[in-house]
Amino acid sequence: MVVISFCAANQWVQCSEYSFYSLTPNTGFELLTYLVEEGWQLLRVRYGCMENGQLTWVYLPVEAFDGQPIQGPLTSLQEEWEDLLR
């Protein structure tokens, strides 16, 4: 399970913090992509995962979430990593 925390704005809200749990990173990333597609502007995105009982945060580039489907590119990237590790 991962945690995604983000600050976003839309036509009604200037900037508000949101967080949610996701079973997989890809599912969480798809939700962020959907929000952008619906007109939200992401101002900051953090990805958190548990390591040795401690939550570690990584800031993600908001430009990566442009409203276009993200599952295909992530799957391609995963396949490239797996090929390199063989």
8-44 tens-digit pLDDT? 998 887 888 999 988 888 889 999 999 999 999 999 9
* pLDDT recorded at residue 77: 86
83 and 46 Cβ atoms separated by less than 8 Å:
no
Q: What is the 3-state secondary structure (H, E, C) of 17-40?
A: EEEEEECCHHHHHHHHHHHHHCCC
- pTM for this entry: 0.79
Indicate the DSSP class of residue 53. Answer: T
